Amino acid sequence: MEHLDFQFTGGAPAGRRAYAGVVGSGDLEVLLTPGNAGHIDVAITTSVNGMSATWQAQLARVFGSHAWPAAKITINDFGATPAVVRLRLEQALEALAQS
């Protein structure tokens, strides 16, 4: 298991909590809580070691694609592909919009 931390630029704090996914083979869960204005703090626990650069690149693409609220995001990963990472993050963002 490896623990990774990243920080990105966000907007105003998220209005509430959101959740997407499940920890299981080839999947991950995303827990999103309101964060400090202007910051997206991401904490990842992953079963796949040595992939920090891949995570950094994937998250930069996701958070650079459109405006994200300030949030603290916890990702518990069990070998998800980059497509699943993006899907779960987008699902959590969509859950925020449905409030």
Which two tokens mark 38? 């202007």
Domains of the chain: 2-97 (3.30.230)
Note the pLDDT of residue 84: 94
- Dump pLDDT digits (tens) for 21-68: 988 777 899 999 999 999 999 999 999 999 999 999 999 999 999 999
Note the pLDDT of residue 99: 60
CA distance 67 to 53: 22
CA distance 38 to 8: 8
Q: Are 45 and 2 in contact (CB under 8 A)?
A: yes
pTM above 0.85, yes or no: yes
